[in-house]
């Protein structure tokens, strides 16, 4: 060791060693340094959070070189960049994921252990950035992961909400919403770039004028101006040199403007104006499949889109591009209609601010934008009242009228005299109250339109966007959703990842199709038993977590039957509950009955204003109270509602699941992505032919999938015939008993009125056809219970499910977007030498 010391003295530590070195020794020293110099603490007074922060900065140091090198490699005129515009990015905690991407999980674990701490505990300290509601926001996060993994130049643009999706607590069985203060202790993963601030105008009016060249122009005189400050988060590629950027905008007041122009001497008023401006990025609207549109929401949408487009144009001009060629260096993807105001905003920027003629501007716009639709629910299609829209965005309304005038002219040329079609296609919905139809704006202004699963894309062409399909069939394609195997297998299910890599090598992490090679182990007794043991370990971990969070004790040897997702009537959590009550009734009638012991686990948030969804949460908890405490049940059934379902909790749940509930009414779920995470981790699916379930079943094989329920066609036909839920109620004694129990109060401590709205809805309307699908669901669930008794066969099905889920990697999805829609290709990133600051 004398030699070592001498060697160290001879080669003095360089500054970059402590900031980039990856040996356990260097990591330990950097960690201790950051605790002292960044957190300002030493071991005597450091909290767990201080340790987390010190580690986060240690890891951040180690990704900056990749990030800056990537930016440099991409800042070239010939490079095409994908800009993913999304109101939501549900990233999940960064620390663990970045360790996986950098390939330093093991060294860091050891360094932390040798520092007397536990890595998993530090990872658990991170407040997850909950900047999304559910599938749509999480999809955006998986896509950023895959874009970086594939070295595709990309920027995610969105809003830096100060408060993300609310934290959920359950009190007396009801959901209570708590503000999500995720920024409370600071966010080590973001870097503010105030020098790249942009201005955004709102309100006011427009004026026509003739410019120096004699051209007719319009200028927008806004009522107020706000500024957007970008906050950047590097998004690492998996074990490569690429790190793309997630750029989120924070709204601020341009103080000078307010102080001088409006609030001379009125300090209070000036501060008030500042608060008003900052409101725009204050809070995420907590509606999945948005139900109501408020003015602030439109302000949010326009704000982040305008900031982003100005940023894109600035970058394009900076590398020497011409605006006429924007589509050669930029592919802008609209994640649903939330950013679709971008179509009108790009037209305004090009025509009004950059003096480009209308036809050229429209060409550029159409060639640059593409639109993904994420819903078939008619009530979720965004439309803005014309009055609201015009008062906030007067110039954009004019532009939309002009787009519409020209667009309808084209339609007339193609379908002469078809006035019905004109009305259906118009960007404006006529009537006593007029609306701007955002899906129409997005469709008209994009060169590509896609759905998110094969069935969904077909239904788009047939129903929701039928007229657009007939007008421009070449715009339409399908891009089935995918999820990243890095977060959803490697990080969340490390034991399974280890077994897989040991058996077939680790190529699957970048090329998920290779999982197919697991098929040859499906009948291997030894492999099966290791597979089962890993599942049991994951179930035991989840059971422990359930005990900590709820006090409930569940048996890890029971069948873990899980439904986690937003609470929504179309997702039919209450159909699941009808089966639980049915099983309960059977046991009450015959306590000796042999049944497969099951633990039903639910998780999910309800939109705060969605009464029926909140009542379903109360229902689950009421049924849990009855079932869990009845001695006749003898612990054979357990019902758990786990509060505050989020990405972090998802990482615990998917690896522990044996049965995945995907039971939406056929034709309602656009795709689903949880369904993919479950089966990758070896759960079997009980599901309808809806969304991506169809393709999951196709891949897994129908013998490895529990199918039930009406098909989309049958749903349409039944509704067309006139659906009467009472027919099913009257014709099915077991169903009648369950519904009567809901109405009678036996499940709600005698409160007969509690579930009346639910019963009333089911018996008189039942929009989502629970009663029609009840019998089929019950029979299918009974088959599941039977199948579980043959553990060998079950394990075989489980292995085959994982083995055949390669298609559902987000890498596959991103490759398809790149080839068919974006025309984007990988750019090699060469790591730049660390550059010392020079005077």
Residue among 731, 741, 780 at smallest CA distance from 584: 741
The CB density around residue 111, as the number of other CB atoms within 10 Å, is 25
Q: Is 571 assigned a catalytic role?
A: yes
| Measured distance CA(578)–CA(116) in Å, rounded | 50
3-class secondary-structure state, position 816: helix
Tell me which residue has its CB nearest to ligand CR6: 135
Q: Is 510 assigned a catalytic role?
A: no
3-class secondary-structure state, position 155: strand
Using CB under 6 A as the binding rule, whether residue 690 contacts ligand CR6 is answered as no
Given 250, 566, 614, 638, the catalytic residue: 566
Q: In Å, what is the CA distance from 567 to each residue of 175, 287, 515?
A: 11, 11, 32
Q: Which residue has the tokens 């399908």?
A: 478
Residue among 682, 639, 645 at smallest CA distance from 660: 682
Q: Please, is 609 exposed, middle or buried when counting C-beta atoms within 10 Å of its C-beta (0-12, 13-18, 19+)? A: exposed
- What is the total count of residues that contact ligand CR6 (CB under 6 A)? 18
Instruction: Tell me if 309 sits within 8 A of 158, measured CB to CB.
Output: no
3-class secondary-structure state, position 420: helix
Structure tokens at 8: 């160290």
| Measured distance CA(130)–CA(132) in Å, rounded | 6
Q: Is 807 assigned a catalytic role?
A: no
For 201, phi then psi, to 5°, come to -100, 150
For 528, phi then psi, to 5°, come to -55, -45
Binding to ligand CR6 (CB under 6 A) within 137-196 occurs at 139
Using CB under 6 A as the binding rule, whether residue 691 contacts ligand CR6 is answered as yes
Residue among 711, 722, 820 at smallest CA distance from 766: 722
Task: Please select the residue that binds ligand CR6; options are 96, 135, 293, 339, rule is CB under 6 A.
Answer: 135
Using the minimum distance from each CB to ligand CR6, give the nearer residue, 63 or 617: 617
Q: How far is the CB of 600 from ligand CR6 (least distance, A)?
A: 22
| Measured distance CA(777)–CA(579) in Å, rounded | 8
Using CB under 6 A as the binding rule, whether residue 375 contacts ligand CR6 is answered as yes
Task: Please select the residue that binds ligand CR6; options are 93, 134, 604, 709, rule is CB under 6 A.
Answer: 134
**Which residues make Cβ contacts (< 8 Å) with residue 315, sequence separation at least 6?**
75, 81
Using the minimum distance from each CB to ligand CR6, give the nearer residue, 479 or 486: 479
Given 665, 673, 685, 688, the catalytic residue: 673
Using the minimum distance from each CB to ligand CR6, give the nearer residue, 351 or 452: 452
Q: How far is the CB of 374 from ligand CR6 (least distance, A)?
A: 4
Q: How far is the CB of 86 from ligand CR6 (least distance, A)?
A: 10
Q: Is 673 assigned a catalytic role?
A: yes
Using CB under 6 A as the binding rule, whether residue 132 contacts ligand CR6 is answered as no
Given 338, 677, 796, 807, the catalytic residue: 677
Instruction: Tell me if 96 sits within 8 A of 132, measured CB to CB.
Output: no
Using CB under 6 A as the binding rule, whether residue 672 contacts ligand CR6 is answered as yes
Using CB under 6 A as the binding rule, whether residue 130 contacts ligand CR6 is answered as no
Given 28, 80, 138, 374, the catalytic residue: 374
Using CB under 6 A as the binding rule, whether residue 687 contacts ligand CR6 is answered as no
Q: How far is the CB of 135 from ligand CR6 (least distance, A)?
A: 3
Using CB under 6 A as the binding rule, whether residue 712 contacts ligand CR6 is answered as no
Using CB under 6 A as the binding rule, whether residue 689 contacts ligand CR6 is answered as no
Using the minimum distance from each CB to ligand CR6, give the nearer residue, 667 or 691: 691
| Measured distance CA(246)–CA(495) in Å, rounded | 30
Using CB under 6 A as the binding rule, whether residue 464 contacts ligand CR6 is answered as no
| Measured distance CA(615)–CA(610) in Å, rounded | 9
Q: Which of these ranges, 130-138, 400-408, 747-755, 789-797, lies near ligand CR6 under the rule CB under 6 A?
A: 130-138
Task: Please select the residue that binds ligand CR6; options are 281, 366, 480, 481, rule is CB under 6 A.
Answer: 481
Task: Please select the residue that binds ligand CR6; options are 200, 436, 439, 452, rule is CB under 6 A.
Answer: 452
Q: Which residue has the tokens 């008030």?
A: 272
Using CB under 6 A as the binding rule, whether residue 96 contacts ligand CR6 is answered as no
Concatenating the DSSP letter of every residue in 231-271 gives EEEEEE-TTSS-EEEEEEEEEE--HHHIIIII-TT-HHHHH
Using CB under 6 A as the binding rule, whether residue 658 contacts ligand CR6 is answered as no
Q: Which of these ranges, 109-117, 520-528, 663-671, 812-820, lies near ligand CR6 under the rule CB under 6 A?
A: 663-671
| Measured distance CA(216)–CA(209) in Å, rounded | 6
Q: Which of these ranges, 31-39, 253-261, 372-380, 578-586, lies near ligand CR6 under the rule CB under 6 A?
A: 372-380
Q: Is 322 assigned a catalytic role?
A: no
Residue among 705, 696, 644, 706 at smallest CA distance from 674: 696
Alpha helices in 415-559, H assignment, sequence order: 419-425, 438-444, 454-459, 466-471, 485, 494-504, 525-550
Using CB under 6 A as the binding rule, whether residue 374 contacts ligand CR6 is answered as yes
Residue among 661, 547, 658, 549 at smallest CA distance from 597: 658
Using CB under 6 A as the binding rule, whether residue 288 contacts ligand CR6 is answered as yes
* Beta-strand relationship, 216-221 and 205-210: antiparallel
Using CB under 6 A as the binding rule, whether residue 669 contacts ligand CR6 is answered as yes
Residue 152 is given by DSSP the state -
Q: Which of these ranges, 134-142, 414-422, 432-440, 795-803, lies near ligand CR6 under the rule CB under 6 A?
A: 134-142
Residue among 145, 89, 154 at smallest CA distance from 331: 154
Using the minimum distance from each CB to ligand CR6, give the nearer residue, 74 or 373: 373
Using CB under 6 A as the binding rule, whether residue 673 contacts ligand CR6 is answered as yes
Q: What would you report as the CA-atom Rg of the chain, rounded to the nearest whole angstrom?
A: 28
Instruction: Tell me if 141 sits within 8 A of 236, measured CB to CB.
Output: no
Instruction: Tell me if 583 sits within 8 A of 589, measured CB to CB.
Output: no
Q: Which of these ranges, 135-143, 200-208, 553-561, 794-802, lies near ligand CR6 under the rule CB under 6 A?
A: 135-143
| Measured distance CA(726)–CA(540) in Å, rounded | 43
Task: Please select the residue that binds ligand CR6; options are 289, 382, 699, 766, rule is CB under 6 A.
Answer: 289
| Measured distance CA(733)–CA(742) in Å, rounded | 14
The CB density around residue 393, as the number of other CB atoms within 10 Å, is 28
For residues 324 to 363, the per-residue mask of contacts with ligand CR6, x marking binding by CB under 6 A and - elsewhere, is: ------------x---------------------------
Q: Is 565 assigned a catalytic role?
A: yes
Using CB under 6 A as the binding rule, whether residue 483 contacts ligand CR6 is answered as no
For 157, phi then psi, to 5°, come to -115, 130
Q: How far is the CB of 358 from ligand CR6 (least distance, A)?
A: 32
Q: How far is the CB of 290 from ligand CR6 (least distance, A)?
A: 7
Q: How far is the CB of 792 from ligand CR6 (least distance, A)?
A: 33
Using CB under 6 A as the binding rule, whether residue 670 contacts ligand CR6 is answered as yes
Using the minimum distance from each CB to ligand CR6, give the nearer residue, 234 or 674: 674
Q: How far is the CB of 813 from ligand CR6 (least distance, A)?
A: 10
Using CB under 6 A as the binding rule, whether residue 240 contacts ligand CR6 is answered as no
| Measured distance CA(464)–CA(450) in Å, rounded | 12
| Measured distance CA(509)–CA(354) in Å, rounded | 45
Q: How far is the CB of 745 from ligand CR6 (least distance, A)?
A: 34
Given 60, 160, 487, 571, the catalytic residue: 571
Q: How far is the CB of 376 from ligand CR6 (least distance, A)?
A: 8
Q: How far is the CB of 536 from ligand CR6 (least distance, A)?
A: 30
| Residues annotated as part of the active site | 374, 565-566, 571, 673, 677
* Binding-site ranges for ligand CR6 (CB under 6 A): 134-136, 139, 288-289, 336, 374-375, 380, 452, 481, 669-673, 691
């Amino acid at each position: 060791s004398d030699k070592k010391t001498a060697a160290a003295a001879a080669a003095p530590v360089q500054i970059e060693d402590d900031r980039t070195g990856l040996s356990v020794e260097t990591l330990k020293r950097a960690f201790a340094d950051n605790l002292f110099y960044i957190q300002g603490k030493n071991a005597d007074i450091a909290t767990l959070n201080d340790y987390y922060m010190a580690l986060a900065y240690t890891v951040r140091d180690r990704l900056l070189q990749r990030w800056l090198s990537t930016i440099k490699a991409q800042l070239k005129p010939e490079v095409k960049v994908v800009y993913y515009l999304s109101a939501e990015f549900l990233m999940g905690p960064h620390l663990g994921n970045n360790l996986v991407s950098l390939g330093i999980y093991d060294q860091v674990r050891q360094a932390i252990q040798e520092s007397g701490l536990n890595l998993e505990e530090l990872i658990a300290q991170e407040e997850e950035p909950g900047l999304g509601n559910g599938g749509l926001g999480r999809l955006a996060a998986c896509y950023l992961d895959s874009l970086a993994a594939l070295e595709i130049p990309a920027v995610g643009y969105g809003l830096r909400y100060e408060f993300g999706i609310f934290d959920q607590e359950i009190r007396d069985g009801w959901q209570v919403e708590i503000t999500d203060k995720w920024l409370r202790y600071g966010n080590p993963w973001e870097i503010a770039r105030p020098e790249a601030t942009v201005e955004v105008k709102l309100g006011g009016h427009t004026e026509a004028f003739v410019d120096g060249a004699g051209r007719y122009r319009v200028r927008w005189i806004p009522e107020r101006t706000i500024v957007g400050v970008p906050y950047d988060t590097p998004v690492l590629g998996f074990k490569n040199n690429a790190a793309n950027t997630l750029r989120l905008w924070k709204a601020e007041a341009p103080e000078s403007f307010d102080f001088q122009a409006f609030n001379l001497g009125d300090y209070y008023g000036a501060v008030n104006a500042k608060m008003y401006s900052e409101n725009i990025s204050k809070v995420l609207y907590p509606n999945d499949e948005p139900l109501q549109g408020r003015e602030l929401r439109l302000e949010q949408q326009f704000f982040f889109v305008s900031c982003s487009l100005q940023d894109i144009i600035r970058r394009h001009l900076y590398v020497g591009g011409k605006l006429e060629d924007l589509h050669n260096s930029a592919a802008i993807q609209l994640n649903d209609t939330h950013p679709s105001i971008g179509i009108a905003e790009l037209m305004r920027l090009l025509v009004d601010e950059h003096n480009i003629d209308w036809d050229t501007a429209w060409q550029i716009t159409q060639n640059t934008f593409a639109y993904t639709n994420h819903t078939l629910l008619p009530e979720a299609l965004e439309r803005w009242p014309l009055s609201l829209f015009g008062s906030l965005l007067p110039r954009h309304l004019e532009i939309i009228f002009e787009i519409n005038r020209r667009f309808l002219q084209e339609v007339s040329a193609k379908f002469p005299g078809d006035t019905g079609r004109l009305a259906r296609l118009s960007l404006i919905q006529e009537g006593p109250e007029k609306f701007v139809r955002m899906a129409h704006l997005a469709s008209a202004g994009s060169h590509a339109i896609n759905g998110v699963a094969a069935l969904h894309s077909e239904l788009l062409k047939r129903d929701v966007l039928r007229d657009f399909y007939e007008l421009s069939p070449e715009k339409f394609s399908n891009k089935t959703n995918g999820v990243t195997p890095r977060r959803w297998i490697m990080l969340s299910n490390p034991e399974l990842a280890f077994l897989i890599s040991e058996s077939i090598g680790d190529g699957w992490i970048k090329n998920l199709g290779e999982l197919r090679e697991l098929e040859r182990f499906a009948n291997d007794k030894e492999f099966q038993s290791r597979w089962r043991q890993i599942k049991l370990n994951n179930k035991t971990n989840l059971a422990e977590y359930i005990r900590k969070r709820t006090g409930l004790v569940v048996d890890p040897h029971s069948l873990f039957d899980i439904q986690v997702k937003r609470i929504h009537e179309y997702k039919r959590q209450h159909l699941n509950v009808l089966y639980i009550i049915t099983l309960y009734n059977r046991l009450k009638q015959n306590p000796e009955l042999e049944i497969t012991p099951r633990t039903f686990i639910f998780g999910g948030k309800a939109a705060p204003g969605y009464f029926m969804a909140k009542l379903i949460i109360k229902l689950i908890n009421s049924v849990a109270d009855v079932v869990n405490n009845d001695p006749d049940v003898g612990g054979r059934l357990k019902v758990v509602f786990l509060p505050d379902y989020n990405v972090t909790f998802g990482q615990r749940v998917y690896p522990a699941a044996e049965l995945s509930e995907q039971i939406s009414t056929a034709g309602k779920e656009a795709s689903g992505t949880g369904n993919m995470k479950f089966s990758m981790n070896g759960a079997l699916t009980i599901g309808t032919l809806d969304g991506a379930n169809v393709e999951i079943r196709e891949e897994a094989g129908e013998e490895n999938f529990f199918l039930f329920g009406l098909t989309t066609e049958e749903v349409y036909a039944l509704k067309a015939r006139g659906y009467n839920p009472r027919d099913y109620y009257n014709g099915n004694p077991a169903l009648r008993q369950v519904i009567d129990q809901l109405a009678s109060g036996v499940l709600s401590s005698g409160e007969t009125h509690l579930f009346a709205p639910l019963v009333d809805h089911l018996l008189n309307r039942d929009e989502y056809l629970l009663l029609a699908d009840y019998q089929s669901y019950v029979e299918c669930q009974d088959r599941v219970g039977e199948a579980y008794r043959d553990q060998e066969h079950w394990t075989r099905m489980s292995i085959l499910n994982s083995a055949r889920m390669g298609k559902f990697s987000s890498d596959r999805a991103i490759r398809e977007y790149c080839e068919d829609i974006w025309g984007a290709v990988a750019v090699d990133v060469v790591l730049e030498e660390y550059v010392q600051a020079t005077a």
